[in-house]
Structure 1
Amino acid sequence: MRLRTVVTAATASLAVAASVTVTDATAAERAPARTPHACSASTAIDGFYDGLDKTLYQGTVVGNLSGLAVDTDGTVAALSDRSQLFSLTVGKGPVAAPVHVVPLADEQGRQLDSEAVVVERDGTRLITSEVEPSVRRYDRDGKLLARLPVPGALRVAPAGRAVTNATFEGLALQPGGHTLIASMEAPLSGDGKDAAGHSLVRFQTWHRGGAKGEFALAGQYAYPVEPNAGVSEITATGDGRLLVLERGFTAGVGNSVRLFLADPRGASDVSGVQNLPGTAKTMRKTLLADLAACPSLGATAKQPQPNPLLDNIEGVAVTGRTWDGRLRLLLVSDDNENPAQITRLYSLTVRLPRHV
């Protein structure tokens, strides 16, 4: 998302029958207290890297990075919201370098406001754009292969009820490759809040089936987002759950960035619900870490931040596991080509609780 301010379209608070559980990892599942660089009981930061900031690769700005995904060759696909898809080699640190870049375009050859990327087993790229919004499939060379259907209500007004520049910000593919999930950044016009004051954003799913293996529209689920924040990214954990990155911005204060574990299983399908919350059972979520609580590791900020480590973090990918089962994560911030912001990579490890 190019704007630094999260836009919401929530209306007056409405009651909801289902409750939302927001807790930290249980004591029995907490990481040892001696964990270096701990951000919380379950999450630690291992390092950050600023070497890509304000650089060029083959004449293309290496910035505006909004989405990450591990590619089939072990590189990391890094998506720019200026319609470019980079391939990065990423090592410890996490020191990174671009090795390839591919331009993307829509059916008329126009640039996308590309925000999230998933790489399928065969190397096909699934890319969201906030403009319509849309999800398109591309081959490795950036050739457009197909476009997935999108419900009318999720389209940007006046075609639908979505807020401009606050649509498909996140994308995740569940294990097996049969279920795709795109997360809206902000609520639709007319959708309200739950009883705890959480704005409700919609997560749209598609299911792959049939002889041709194409994605068809499936269920839609309500996710409760924290006040003054929006959903900037989602990624699959490998067990049916999702990591959800919530991000906000306040002028003169800086960014808020929190990492949650969410479970869409058991939530109500709200594709037929005109206005949330109604009687919908929302997705359950657990706070893993507030990144403002991470040690700064010597990072510096170009604008006011509650922690100089923070910036406009928009992308997250699971890159592997540690020997004891913790997830290795790579995060990236979108600098918007703004001198007051930075392109920064972050490496984290997270121990997931058994239950959300």
Structure 2
Amino acid sequence: MRLRTVLATVTAGLAAATCPTAVGPANAQESHACSPSVSIAGFSDALDKTTYEGTFVGNFSALAVDRNGDLAALSDRSSLFALNGRTLQPEGVVQLADESGAALDAEGLVVDLPHSRLRSSGGTPIGTYLVSSETEPSIRRHSRDGRILDRLPVPDALRVAPAGRAVGNGTFEGLTMLPGGRTLIASMEYALSGDSAGIVRLQTWKRHHGSFALGAQYAYRADSGLGVPEVTATPDGRLLVLERGFTVGVGNTVRLYLADPRHATDTSGIDNLTGQDGVRLIKKTLLADIADCPDLGATAKQPQPNPLLDNIESMTITGRTKGRLNVLLASDDNQNAVQTTRFYSLRVRM
């Protein structure tokens, strides 16, 4: 199934579940504008507080388009779900673990299909999953059935203190592959000790003969009080970046940026980033503050600036419609009664 078709069916499913008028004539879609660059087509809470084959469906930390147009949804409790590309309903689940069998704090996901012409005996494309964990942090390659195939190198400075300079629960949240499948990017959620607050590092790896070696590193400045839970490569090699924060009694802040790392300084050899050291940071442009989207009738279980908002943590591009990127977001409910597992369908003009 082509990605454009996948997104059309996913978008229709989200809109039908919660906002029947969200998908329709072009002027109706424009009426759901979040900003001049972003509109929301619909949302769905259909998977909130559900289970599949005895596994809790939620805690979503990453999304990716999988083979055959279905979706892969990663839970930070070590569950990797296969979701139907039309309905978002679970159709399979694989449990992941580290080398000792312990559960991963899994945060980032890439479905790696570098050899799309190779097919199994059943005619299905062969591929693997690249999964980041923010515990160490680490990036492991897993087979389709969850087995660990290999593990990528990680710079010492990015490891959690005292092994490195990273703060706990603040490392590899985002993971994406640039077009062409030769460059992998992982984003730290928060700044390293010794770097200025808000400046987070993005580490790259280059593929050489089927394996990944450490590449350049770049610096990105998040807005005050926000971290980076996800990055997703665009078809032209730029990045969509989610920035997120939470204030007790107020709720979530979630902003979507377009970022361009192509002229940024390689910071892999720079110990401390002050923001005043001549380093060219990744240039970013605000696309939308999700709080400015129409709420489409959504309700929130706790205070929010907009009842549509929740703990949005995952993002993937599922195709194009009339020149716009179709972007699917999902929230991490933390298996918490006052949070919601919610999917959002956005259309983004770059």
TM-score, with length taken from structure 1: 0.86
Structure number having the greater helix percentage:
2
| Counterpart selection for 1:134 from 126, 135, 138 | 138
1:305 corresponds to which residue?
A: 304
> 1:264 aligned to 2:261?
yes
> 1:253 aligned to 2:257?
no
Q: 1:310 to 1:216 in 2, by over 3 A?
A: same
> What secondary structure is seen at the aligned counterpart in 1 of 2:338?
coil
Per-residue displacement from partner, 1:297-343 (whole Å, max 9, x unpaired)?
00000000000000000000000100x21000110000000001000
> 1:241 aligned to 2:227?
no
The 8 Å contact of residues 256 and 290 in structure 2, kept in 1 or not, is answered as: yes
Q: Which whole-Å CA distance do the structure 2 matches of 1:239 and 1:139 have between them?
A: 28
Q: Which runs of 5+ in 2 are unaligned?
A: 1-25, 114-125
The 8 Å contact of residues 71 and 123 in structure 1, kept in 2 or not, is answered as: no
Per-residue displacement from partner, 1:76-101 (whole Å, max 9, x unpaired)?
1000000010010133xxx4200000
Alpha-carbon shift at residue 116 of structure 1 (Å): 1.1
> 1:204 aligned to 2:203?
yes
Of the structure 1 ranges 247-256 and 270-279, higher mean CA displacement relative to structure 2 is found in: 270-279
> 1:73 aligned to 2:68?
yes
Alpha-carbon shift at residue 36 of structure 1 (Å): 2.7
| Counterpart selection for 1:331 from 323, 329, 332 | 329
Q: Which whole-Å CA distance do the structure 2 matches of 1:140 and 1:213 have between them?
A: 17
2:285 corresponds to which residue?
A: 286
> What secondary structure is seen at the aligned counterpart in 2 of 1:302?
coil
Q: Which whole-Å CA distance do the structure 2 matches of 1:35 and 1:135 have between them?
A: 39
2:123 corresponds to which residue?
A: none
Percent identical pairs in the alignment equals 64
Q: Which whole-Å CA distance do the structure 1 matches of 2:303 and 2:192 have between them?
A: 30
| Counterpart selection for 2:38 from 37, 40, 43 | 43
Per-residue displacement from partner, 1:6-64 (whole Å, max 9, x unpaired)?
xxxxxxxxxxxxxxxxxxxxxxxxx9897131000010000000010000000000010
Per-residue displacement from partner, 1:171-225 (whole Å, max 9, x unpaired)?
01001100000000000001015xxxxx21000000011xx32100010000010
2:157 corresponds to which residue?
A: 153
Alpha-carbon shift at residue 279 of structure 1 (Å): 2.3
The 8 Å contact of residues 29 and 39 in structure 2, kept in 1 or not, is answered as: no
The 8 Å contact of residues 47 and 347 in structure 1, kept in 2 or not, is answered as: yes
Aligned ranges for residues 5-84 of structure 1 at < 5 Å? Answer: 35-84=30-79
> What secondary structure is seen at the aligned counterpart in 2 of 1:172?
strand
Amino acid at match of 1:164: G
> 1:102 aligned to 2:94?
yes
Q: Which whole-Å CA distance do the structure 2 matches of 1:273 and 1:335 have between them?
A: 37
> What secondary structure is seen at the aligned counterpart in 1 of 2:291?
helix
Q: Which whole-Å CA distance do the structure 2 matches of 1:96 and 1:258 have between them?
A: 24
Q: Which whole-Å CA distance do the structure 1 matches of 2:337 and 2:29 have between them?
A: 37
The 8 Å contact of residues 128 and 142 in structure 2, kept in 1 or not, is answered as: yes
2:347 corresponds to which residue?
A: 349
Aligned ranges for residues 151-190 of structure 1 at < 5 Å? Answer: 151-190=155-194
Per-residue displacement from partner, 1:249-304 (whole Å, max 9, x unpaired)?
00000000000000010000000101003321100000000000000000000000
Amino acid at match of 2:267: V
The 8 Å contact of residues 29 and 41 in structure 2, kept in 1 or not, is answered as: no
Q: Which whole-Å CA distance do the structure 1 matches of 2:207 and 2:58 have between them?
A: 33
Q: Which whole-Å CA distance do the structure 1 matches of 2:186 and 2:31 have between them?
A: 34
Amino acid at match of 2:245: G
1:12 corresponds to which residue?
A: none
> What secondary structure is seen at the aligned counterpart in 1 of 2:67?
coil
Q: 1:154 to 1:239 in 2, by over 3 A?
A: same
Q: Which runs of 5+ in 1 are unaligned?
A: 1-30, 194-198
**RMSD of aligned residue pairs (Cα, Å):** 1.3
What number of residue pairs does the alignment pair up? 311
Structure 1 stretches of 4+ moved >4 Å: 31-34
1:316 corresponds to which residue?
A: 315
Q: Which whole-Å CA distance do the structure 2 matches of 1:286 and 1:187 have between them?
A: 20
Amino acid at match of 2:340: I
TM-score, with length taken from structure 2: 0.87
Amino acid at match of 1:314: E
Q: Which whole-Å CA distance do the structure 1 matches of 2:150 and 2:51 have between them?
A: 30
> What secondary structure is seen at the aligned counterpart in 1 of 2:173?
strand
- Bigger RCO of structures 1 and 2 (CA < 8 A, at least 6 apart): 1
1:25 corresponds to which residue?
A: none
